[in-house]
Structure 1
Amino acid sequence: MIPTESGSGTERVDTGAGVARITWLPARSARLVLAAGHGAGGGIEARDLQALAAVLPARGVSVALVEQPWRVAGKKVAPAPRTLDTGWQGVWPALRAPGLPVVAGGRSAGARVACRTAAGLGAHAVLALSFPLHPPGRPERSRADELLGTRVPTLVVQGGRDPFGRPAEFPPGEHRLVEVPHGDHGFAVPKKAPLTQDQALDVLTGAVADWLDGLP
């Protein structure tokens, strides 16, 4: 069941990888849906996903936080990328049910899923949070092809000290890249940083909201 404008709600969806769960944060007079998947090491409680869910509905964007089947089932380890893609593809009809353009998004492993599947699913755009360009310390194992192959407008938001890929390491391409200064892979900033944690998240949410506002 898709919630009305009056409040959020959850929806369980059968996919080829098991049962996924969508938490809806609807906007009044919504013009877009941002679907956001989590990473391999956590769920939708991640600070960046929660920050977006708190801000975007007031900007006319409904947020759908997607929990992959392995997470819903209580498992501790994420499955192979192909299985993650299957789970994401399985929730897509529910994400499109409101009849609005859907921006495919996610953090870390969820960003990779969004990039890999965007063209095939007809995503309106892609939001990649903390895109894991390579494993820490292994820049030769680049995943740039996934990011460069979305074929739709793409925004990357990356922490300035992310060990999975600092902003300067990203290759040129059609995507837009925004840096969250001093942020790590979870956008946490050190206590001695010249900006607070709240300010770092404001950089993230402001960049995402402005980019979404500019989409056709």
Structure 2
Amino acid sequence: MLLWNRPVGPVSYTLILAHGAGAPMDSPFMHDIAQRLAARGIAVVRFEFPYMAALRGDGRRRPPNPQAQLLGCWREVHALVRQQVTGPLAIGGKSMGGRMASLLADELGADALVCLGYPFHAVGKADKPRVAHLADLKTPTLIVQGERDPMGDRLTVAGYSLSDAIRVQWLVAGDHDLKPLKASGFSHEQHLEAAAGSVEAFLAAPGGTPK
């Protein structure tokens, strides 16, 4: 099942947005960001990986499917959406969904890649980064990341070798859901709005190329 948020007016871009490991495609975060992007002329289409879709059927929580299955699902959804839309098509997602998209972006020939809260490493395992493929990524990429994300904070990510095609947009004192500390002076809504604005500006650049 595909869940669409379509702009009222012209569509500037279409973005396939995958959910993270622990929340479905209609979680508050996914719903919020999809609405904000649609209001900016970006059509957003969401889907669920098999393990999350199964949860809807019987209510039993499961761990994510093996990576090969997650990637296979991504390929199928991309092919389906590509048949339905004209114009530029970006892929991406929240956390795990974005990481799976990053593994396929070049293969699929995506026009752009958008990751919200990228899991550069598992929580507490900064010594085991999952970034090897990011060094050679060719697809224009935007990663919106909270400065205190436990899966990749600003200091840790600064030590990684990332492709020149990748732009990282940092949100002050934000966590993995882009939620800031109250002491920062920013609200979660402000950060979500900033994230949507960053995605809009990024996709508006020629070919989705970061400025």
Q: Taking structure 1 as the reference length, what is the TM-score of the superposition? A: 0.84
Q: Which residue of 1 aligns with 2:181?
A: 190
For 1:92 and 1:205, how far apart are their aligned partners in 2? 22
For 1:93 and 1:196, how far apart are their aligned partners in 2? 37
Question: Relative to 1, partners in 2 of residues 1:203 and 1:213: Cα closer, same or farther, differing over 3 Å?
Answer: same
Kindly provide the CA deviation profile for residues 38-81 of structure 1, in whole angstroms up to 9, marking residues without a partner as x.
Answer: 11111123444323211222322110012112111114321111
Q: Which residue of 1 aligns with 2:3?
A: 23
Give the deviation of 1:155 after TM superposition.
0.5
**5+ residue gaps, structure 1:** 1-20
For 1:66 and 1:150, how far apart are their aligned partners in 2? 24
For 1:179 and 1:50, how far apart are their aligned partners in 2? 22
Q: Which residue of 2 aligns with 1:13?
A: none
Q: Which residue of 2 aligns with 1:8?
A: none
Which of 90-99 and 40-49 deviates more? 40-49
State which of 80, 87, 102 in structure 2 corresponds to 1:115: 102
Which of 101-110 and 51-60 deviates more? 51-60
1:54 aligned to 2:35? Answer: yes
For 1:77 and 1:206, how far apart are their aligned partners in 2? 32
Which of 67-76 and 110-119 deviates more? 67-76
Amino acid at match of 1:81: Q
The answer (yes or no) to whether the contact 1:48–1:187 under 8 Å persists in 2 is no
Give the deviation of 1:173 after TM superposition.
2.7
Give the deviation of 1:146 after TM superposition.
3.0
Which of 183-192 and 58-67 deviates more? 183-192
1:212 aligned to 2:206? Answer: no
Task: Give secondary structure in 2 for the equivalent of 1:59.
Answer: coil
4+ residue runs of structure 1 moved beyond 6 angstroms?
A: none
State which of 134, 139, 149 in structure 2 corresponds to 1:162: 149
For 1:88 and 1:60, how far apart are their aligned partners in 2? 23
RMSD: 1.7
Kindly provide the CA deviation profile for residues 140-199 of structure 1, in whole angstroms up to 9, marking residues without a partner as x.
Answer: 211112333431100011111101001232224310000111111112223343111211
Which of 84-93 and 190-199 deviates more? 190-199
For 1:44 and 1:106, how far apart are their aligned partners in 2? 10
Please identify which structure carries the higher strand content.
1
1:87 aligned to 2:73? Answer: yes
The answer (yes or no) to whether the contact 1:148–1:173 under 8 Å persists in 2 is yes
Question: Relative to 1, partners in 2 of residues 1:153 and 1:85: Cα closer, same or farther, differing over 3 Å?
Answer: same
Q: Which residue of 1 aligns with 2:24?
A: 43
Which of 145-154 and 197-206 deviates more? 145-154
Task: Give secondary structure in 1 for the equivalent of 2:202.
Answer: helix
Q: Taking structure 2 as the reference length, what is the TM-score of the superposition? A: 0.86
Q: Which residue of 1 aligns with 2:171?
A: 180
For 2:163 and 2:108, how far apart are their aligned partners in 1? 21
Q: Which residue of 2 aligns with 1:153?
A: 140
Which of 166-175 and 125-134 deviates more? 166-175
Identity value in percent: 29
For 2:177 and 2:26, how far apart are their aligned partners in 1? 11
For 1:188 and 1:34, how far apart are their aligned partners in 2? 23
1:100 aligned to 2:87? Answer: yes
Number of aligned residues: 196
Q: Which residue of 2 aligns with 1:70?
A: 51
